[in-house]
Every structure is written in structure tokens, then in C-alpha cells.
Amino acid sequence: MKKAMTLALGILTSVGGFFDVGNIATCTQAGARFRFQLIWALLLATLVVIVLVEMSGRFAAVTKKALPDAIREHFGFGFWLVPFIILTLIHILVLGAEIGGICFALHLVTGLPLQVWALPVAILLWVFLWRATFSTIENSTSLLGLITLCFVVATIWLHPPTHDLLQGAVPSMPSKNPENYWFIAVSIIGAVIAPYLFYFYSSGAVEDEWDPSYIPVNRAVAVIGMGFGSIVSLGAIIVAGVVLAPRGIHVDDYHQAALMLTQAFPYWGYVLFAVSMGVACLGAATEVALSMSYTFAQTFGWNWGENLNPAEDARFSLVYTISLLLGSLFMLAGVDPLKLTLLTMAISAAVLPVVAIPMLLLMNDRKLLRDAANGIFSNLATAAIVLLTLVLAVVSIPLAVVGGS
Amino acid sequence: MHEEVDIIRDFLDKQIVDREETKMGRADGIVLAIDGNGPPRIDHFELGFAVLARRLHPRIEEWLSALRKRWSPRKNARQIVAWSKVMDVTDHHIQLDLKAMETPAFDWERWLRDHIVTKIPGSGEE
């Protein structure tokens, strides 16, 4: 019974938690500029994220350790320090972008400038983390997150041409602006394979006290949850492709993205977009802030857990508090949220080897995982993923320079 | 019973927990003692940022200790835990016969809790 609940909740969380500011930015730009031609990038990224999420959950179920914990223990402090610093910076950038998304949603509804919302949003997030337990956070953000299914509903109402969609599932060369095409492709991959996802997911599995009997549940959550989750992103590409592309709206600004639902929902479209964006970013921001705390606490061996009161893990609570404060500075300083998001996604794509390589090594440690270690199939998949991440590491920053905007 | 253990792989950087399984740090350093002609034996663990800093570079340790003298609520740069305090070693952690809250490992935790966290409503310590 408990497992059935875990499964249902896990799937719900993935559907609600998959979609965040990075997906909104990259998928709407992809659809607006290249119609359905970049669907393949989303499908590829979804496959990769399914494989990696399944591994991080399996690892936690068998060893009862989350990834940062295990990486420090098995590779040593010196090995972990550099990825740790890089991932900390990425977490702050992503948090800045997610807070930007919430501020923008509030700006759409109220008309007040983003700067005004930066601190209230950070405080709201902080109160939520300070008071709530892990399952409250997981359940409330995932239930709210289902509002993003409006992108899927809109897709169905708009009757996109099936033949063109299928064509987009196969990689092809763009007829114009190839630098921008590849930049968006890389950004979509960076947005979907968010590094914080694996640290958060494996720490959550430890918080929920998974054991090896959860391996099948974990597999189902990874495949069905991430699979369904990516359908929302797919919806965003398609809706942008049908609504924005023919009008020549390129989405240089989130305001333009906000128009995309108005064709399917004439009256409510604008509000629906704002609510979807706000809710999606709210859920992601709590996950990123918690992931930051998990990573710090596990790196230094502190007591950790979102189910403890802040008085029992003061340092854990301090880390998300400072992270939220730092994350709110971007909007306070007037940084453009869309530019911040796209830049963050490109950097995020560049550092993926740092996430993928230690994971591949750990998943092959038979002393740790015994018969739950990776088999040939998983290893071929991870080898391919590592290769892909290495290519991304080399191309993403140069592409951001030549193809960004 | 004879069992061989790789101290770098299996002990260094491992999670350390107290009597009640409260996580209290990691085995940041392991110190051997050499007495006369006998083989070296593990004498104690070291915990603390200073130990980590020294593993990276002596200069970083100096900077850190200068900072600590000025700002830190922690009295000692490192906590030394004698091997005799080890109760149990599992795949998951090293358990010590100590209470974390009473050790220097929790200097920061205690300071933050007493000076900041419990002053904020909802910390669970009203």
C-alpha cells in the first residue's frame, strides 16, 4: 500500500516537477523560432534524464545514501571539491532563474515590476521550507504543478499537424540561423537534465527511507513520471510552434511567451500562463534550495533532513536560507529573467560531465550495489550519456556566445 | 577474526554518527601512531574544516585558522576522536560512543541554534 502511494506520488511529483523555468524558456523559444524542428532534443534529453534518475534512485534505495554523500565518501574530499563548488554556483544561478520565473508570473498578474517581488518571493519560499516537512513540500508542489497540463490541453485543441510533429522527432538541419538552432537544442538538454534533480531525488529517497524493495517503484517513477513530465514540455514546444511561430514572435522576452495560450484559451490564456509559470517555478525553486542544503550537509557530514525541525539541523536550514537570499539578488539587481535562464541552462549543460561521470563510476561499484549494480545495457546507456555530456561541455558555452539571444 | 580494510577507501571521508545515530561529521583525517619498531596503528580521527583545508594546501589551512581566530564560535580548529571511541563500523557509517551535541563537532550547530534559529518562530523549539 505504501509503495502504491509512493508510486502515485512519485509520478505526480515528476509530472509537476519536471516543468520549470528552464523548460518554459527553452521550449517556447524552440517552438516560436523553429516550430516543431527541435522536438528531437526534448525526446533525447528525456531519455537521458529517465536513465539518470532511475540510477540515482536505485543507488539510494540500495545503499541508503544520496549522491553527494557517496561521491565524497568514495572519491574523497579532494575529488569532490571542484564539482561541489561548480554545482553550488549552478544551484544559485538556477535558483535565481526560478525566482525570476515566479517574479515574472506575479508581474504578469499584478503589473508591478519584478524587483518589487524578489524579496517577498524569497521570503515566501523560505517560510515554506522552514515550516513544512518533506512530504508536504513534495505533495503540495506536485498537486499545484498539475495546472501545467494546460499546455497539453491547449496542444490537443490546436490540432497540430501530426506529420510535422513526427518530422520534428528526427534531428534535422535548420534552414536558417543554425547557431541559434543548436544553442536552443543544447539549452533544452541543459534544462531537462537539471543537475539538482539527481541530488534532490536521491536525497528524497533517503528521506523517505527507501530500501532495495523500492527498485521497481523507482523504475516506474523514473520512466512514467519523467515520460509524462516531458509531455508538458512537448506541449510548450507545440503550442509555441502553432501560435507564436506563424506570427513571427521570437520570444526575446517572457512577455511574448505569455501570449502562447491565448489562442486555445481566449479569455484565460494569459492568466493560465502566469499561474503555470509561477507554480512550476515555485516547485522547482523549493527543490533547488533543498538540493543545495542536502549537498552541503552531505558533503560535510552534518545532520540533515527536511523532516527535522530547523532547531535540529540549524546548518542545513542556514544553507537554504542563504541560498534563497543569494538567488533573489538577480531579480533585485534587475537582471532580465529570460537571459538569466538561457545562460544558466547553457552553463548547466556544460557541467553535466561532472554529474554523469561520478555517477557512472558509482553505479558500477559491486561492493556497494552488489547485484543492483549497472548491467551491460545500463552501462552502454551511461557511456553514451557521458559521451553526449562531454560534447555538450565543449560546445555549449561557445554556442551561447555565437547563438544566444 | 582477520579482516583487511583499506583505510583510504573504507574509512577516510566516511560519515560519522554518534551513539544515537545523529550525523556528526565525516572522517576528515585519520592519524596513525608509530611506536618504536612496531607497525603503525590507527590512533585517532580528526574532524573539522581545518583538517580538510590542510588536505588541500597548508596555505588554505593558515587562512582558515586566521579567520577562525577572529570569527568562529569554535574553540578548536579540529576535533580529535580517539579510535577507542569507535563503537561500530558499518557500510553506512562509523558509530562513536559520544553524544554529538556535547562535542566540538557541534560547536557551529549549537551556536546557530542558540543565537539564530531558535529566535525565529517555527523552528520547533518554542
SS3 A256: helix
**Full-model pTM:** 0.93
A336 to A154, A343, B115: CA distances (angstroms): 28, 11, 37
Please report which helix (H) or strand (E) contains residue B51, including its range. helix B49-56
| Residue A132 pLDDT | 83
**pLDDT value of position B123:** 80
- pLDDT level of residue A388 (50, 70, 90 thresholds): very high
pLDDT at A17: 67
Tell me the pLDDT band of A405, cut-offs 50, 70 and 90: low
Contact of A65 with chain B, judged by CB distance below 8 Å, is answered with yes
Interface probe, candidates B10, B13, B108, chain A, greatest A C-beta count within 10 A: B13
CATH for the A2-403 domain, from 1.20.1740.10, 1.10.760.10, 3.40.930.10, 1.10.10.350? 1.20.1740.10
Q: Give the pLDDT confidence of A331-360 residue by residue, as tens digits.
A: 999 999 999 999 999 999 999 998 899 998
Q: What is the ipTM of this complex?
A: 0.92
User: Which residues, numbered 131 to 170 in chain A, qualify as contacts with chain B under a Cβ-Cβ cut-off of 8 Å?
Assistant: 131
Question: What percentage of chain A has pLDDT greater than the value 70?
Answer: 99
pLDDT tens-digit profile of A85-116? 999 999 999 999 999 999 999 999 999 999 99
> CA nearest B108 in A: which residue?
A315
Residue A290 is inside which H or E element, if any? Answer: helix A269-300
DSSP state of B8: I
Which position has the higher pLDDT, A184 or B73? A184
With cut-offs at 50, 70 and 90, classify the pLDDT of residue B79. confident
- List the grid coordinates of A352: 553535466
Interface membership of B93 toward A (CB under 8 Å) = no
Q: Is B92 on the interface with A (CB under 8 A)?
A: yes
Q: CA dist A47 to A41, A190, A222, A226, A230, Å?
A: 10, 13, 10, 9, 10
2.30.30.240, 1.10.10.10, 3.40.1160.10, 3.40.50.300: CATH of B7-119: 2.30.30.240
Nearest chain B CA: its distance from A291 CA (Å):
18
Average model confidence (pLDDT) across chain A:
91
Interchain contact A76–B (C-beta under 8 A): yes
Quote the CA–CA distance of A147 and A80 in Å, as a whole number. 38
A325–B contact, CB cutoff 8 A: no
Nearest CB to A314; choose among B23, B25, B117: B117
User: Of A130, A301, A314, which is closest to B25 when you measure between CB atoms?
Assistant: A301
Kindly state the average pLDDT of the residues A270-281.
93
Does the pLDDT value for residue B1 go beyond 70? no
B109 to each of A25, A54, A302, A303, B90, how far by Cα in Å?
40, 34, 9, 9, 25
Chain B residues lying within 8 Å of A130, measured CB to CB: 120, 122-123
Query: Residue A93 has what pLDDT?
Result: 97
Query: What is the side-by-side order of every strand in the sheet holding B79-82?
Result: B29-33, B41-47, B79-82
Quick one: pLDDT at residue B64?
85
Query: What is the total residue count of chain A?
Result: 405
Q: What is the pLDDT of residues A154-169, one digit of tens each?
A: 999 999 999 999 999 9
Contact criterion met (CB < 8 Å) for B116 and A301: no
Domain residues of chain A, as ranges?
2-403
